Chains A and B, each alone.
Chain A
Amino acid sequence: MFDIKLSHVSKRYSIRNSTRARSVGWPQFSFLGKKPKELWALRDVSFEVAEGESLGIIGNNGAGKSTVLKLLSRITAPTSGEIKVRGRLSALVEVGSGFHPELTGRENIFLNGSMLGMTRSEIARMVDSIVEFAGVPEYIDAPVKRYSSGMNVRLGFSIAAHLDPDILLLDEVLAVGDIVFQAKCLDLVSQLRQSGRTVILISHDLGAIQRLCDRVLLLHQGQVLMTGTPIDVIDHYQQMAMGGGETYHLDDDTDQKSALCSRISFTSEELDQIPRTGYPMFARLGFHARHHLENVVFNILIYWPSGYLCAQLTTAISDPQLRIAPGSGEVEFCCPVLEIQPGWYRVDISIESNGEDLDRQQRCAVLRVLPGKMVFGDFYMDTVWRVLT
């Protein structure tokens, strides 16, 4: 039994150049003359979400993720096609946006709650629980304009969570609030999942998607590119976002540099295989030096797609007195156990000599890691174990 079904849904926006008409000061009857520019946010999108399933939707900015969310939450209607929604649906999108600043927290609970479709008697029954979950009991009779932004969001989330929906839409909502509240929200979402609610999560946080979703849908330029298991779809998406390939030939036309990195590759023990989590990885960094160089350090920096530094391979610790002769060469790094999760990582490389950068190439290559040993959490940890009696 489906909870949500989209059949051939398309959505067109017309972009009117309104600023120009205003600055000229003359009336421009755009609806009579030339047609406004059209933009298809979604084109012939069809998918189903089963009861109790949790679906993640990923894609670049402008791929149509938010449009799907707006259509499902009935903020706007499709240009063509049909959407069926079975049961009560609650969208946790920019929670707290329905608040009136002059009204007190309690009054806003009633206003916001009834906007979400609750009746006054339902709200009256839940008001204490809402206040408790939001953690704002001492401010509940103060006007909302005196609230901090965090309190605003917490109260909004709490009201929306109490709607007790059959279907829950989440859009980057977990990114707000402090750590304690985020943990509370994640806890609630996973409990809602376990109790059989349908969840749709739209996020750029691929880790959260992988943890919380049974199935992932990849949108690209308003169309469904792929649906499948989180691992497959996220891998495909990252590959799409970064461009594939395992060996990188780097730019070598700069004559001024006294040394430069010419090539980089990441492999498993067999030289033509992609590295896997939990198994050995070899990184080979090709370089070319023009002079004798003293005190050389080679670095490979590995970044998450989000830009956060994930790990570093360096010669600085192992041999501070590395010297190289003019000519070409190769540095091989060996990781006996690759601890990072499957996925796609961006790579920086650099050569230093006496603490000075000779060559630094940012985001110049991609490290792809295939699933190997199972990873739950952020890292694989190699373990041996025994039973002690």
Chain B
Amino acid sequence: MEPPRPTSSDGSVDRELRDHCNATEDPAHESTTPLAARKHPLLGSRLLYSRSLKVIRPASFSLGTIISGVTTLVGYRDLLYTMTLFRISVRYKQSVLGWLWAALQPLAMMLIYTLVFSRVARAANDGVPYWLFVFSGLLPWTFFSGAVSNAINGLIAHSDLLTKLYFPREIIPLSYVFTALVDFAIACGILSGLMVYYHLSFSWNVLYAFPVVAILVAFTSAVALILSSVQVRFRDVGAALPVVLQIGVFATPVIYPLNWVPSRYQRLYLMNPVASIIENFRRIVLRGSSPDVSMLITSAAITLCCLVLAYAYFKATEVTMSDTI
């Protein structure tokens, strides 16, 4: 608010004022006439759609939220795509090796495990070199552990978004899962290169990899959803996770074959979807045999239960995340 212009009795100020008015009149005239003739450019772009009624209620844990949640998520699918795309491009933006890192990480792990365990494990790998055996197990494992350990801090890292914008929050952990999936695909390319080099043949059974990987992605998403939402409230989860993942390498058939597990414990052991997925993935890709169907169905059933519960829990905590973060 400007203070009023001091007036004076002599005419010079009046003249100056009049000049000032004349000077500003022309551009003002120029801009008002076309504006009146046409509407604002932004208003011309109005999209035709029917208004929908949204009802905002207090948080609740119910399976009904899943349906509305999935519907909203489908509406925001482009955000999931865009976020995943940019997460990938940002990650390797200022690195020299770029995309190669997606393959270098499991390769390095493979080297370590091979050096440490190859002597112990020589007996058990029916013709396949041990390091290839390890590498094929490490791929799904690296996907799982990488996705979960990145996703768990995702919501906290984006707290500025959570407190200022609304969008389905599950998109953040899910975008980490899909970013890891791209890395997984690159590493699979390396694996097939190595298999060709070692003259291991592919069979049509390799197509079973798609349902197997789909179950793996679903289970990883379930774990990522539930852990990342608990992490918002209790940061202890983030501290415990590296230890749990370290143990996980030994609780899944990554560096040893399944038949090393005593047969009476195998049933319990395979309740872990990651364990049965790694075993099936190796059978399909490395050995070219068909998957163990009962193992596949069990892991799919467990995964579905986990995913439904995890999503319902996530949706129940989502609405107050911005308060507790």
Q: Which residues of A contact B (CB under 8 A)?
A: 13, 70-71, 73-88, 91, 93-94, 97-98, 100, 102-103, 107, 110-111, 114-120, 122, 125-126, 129, 132-133, 161-162, 164, 166, 187-188, 191-192, 195, 207, 304, 308-311, 339, 378-379
Contacts and interface: CB of A to CB of B under 8 A. Distances in A.
A254 B230 CA distance: 63
Contacts of B46: 164
Contact of B57 (A78, A103, A118, A129): A78
16 contacts: A74-B319, A75-B166, A76-B322, A78-B56, A81-B58, A86-B53, A87-B52, A107-B86, A114-B79, A115-B161, A116-B165, A129-B42, A133-B41, A133-B42, A310-B3, A378-B2
B78 A77 contact: no
B95 to A, nearest CB: 12
Contact of A100 (B1, B39, B90): B90
Closest 7 CB pairs of A and B: A77-B319, A87-B51, A114-B79, A74-B166, A83-B56, A97-B164, A85-B54
Contacts of B2: 378
Given A88-B51, A103-B90, A125-B45, A75 B75 contact: no
B83 interface: yes
Contacts of B58: 77-81
Given A75-B166, A76-B322, A97 B53 contact: no
A287 B43 CA distance: 61
B203 interface: no
Given A77-B59, A191-B40, A102 B51 contact: no
A84 B3 contact: no
Interface string B254-273: 00000000000000000000
B4 interface: yes
A164 B160 contact: no
Nearest to A129: B41
Contacts of B76: 114, 117
A300 to B, nearest CB: 16
A84 B45 contact: no
A188 B40 CA distance: 8
Nearest to B160: A97
B43 A111 contact: no
B82 A111 contact: yes
Given A75-B322, A100-B90, A191-B39, 20 more contacts: A73-B165, A77-B56, A78-B57, A80-B58, A85-B53, A88-B49, A110-B82, A111-B82, A111-B86, A114-B82, A114-B83, A116-B165, A132-B41, A161-B42, A162-B45, A195-B39, A309-B3, A339-B4, A378-B1, A379-B4
Contacts of B57: 77-78, 82-83
Interface in B141-189: 160-167
B44 to A, nearest CB: 9
Contacts of A117: 75-76, 167
B161 A98 contact: yes
B19 to A, nearest CB: 20
Interface of B: 1-4, 39-43, 45-47, 49, 51-59, 75-76, 78-79, 81-83, 86, 89-90, 93, 160-167, 319-320, 322-323
A94 B161 CA distance: 10
A74 B56 contact: yes
A162 B42 contact: yes
Contacts of B163: 75
A115 B1 contact: no
A13 B323 contact: yes
A73 B162 CA distance: 11
A76 B323 CA distance: 7
Nearest to B167: A115
Nearest to B162: A75
A75 B3 CA distance: 41
Contacts of B93: 102
Contacts of B81: 120
Contacts of B160: 97
Contact of B165 (A81, A98, A119, A207): A98
A120 B82 contact: yes
B301 to A, nearest CB: 32
Contacts of B49: 88
A302 to B, nearest CB: 11
A116 B53 CA distance: 17
A97 B2 CA distance: 32
Contacts of A80: 58
A80 B56 CA distance: 10
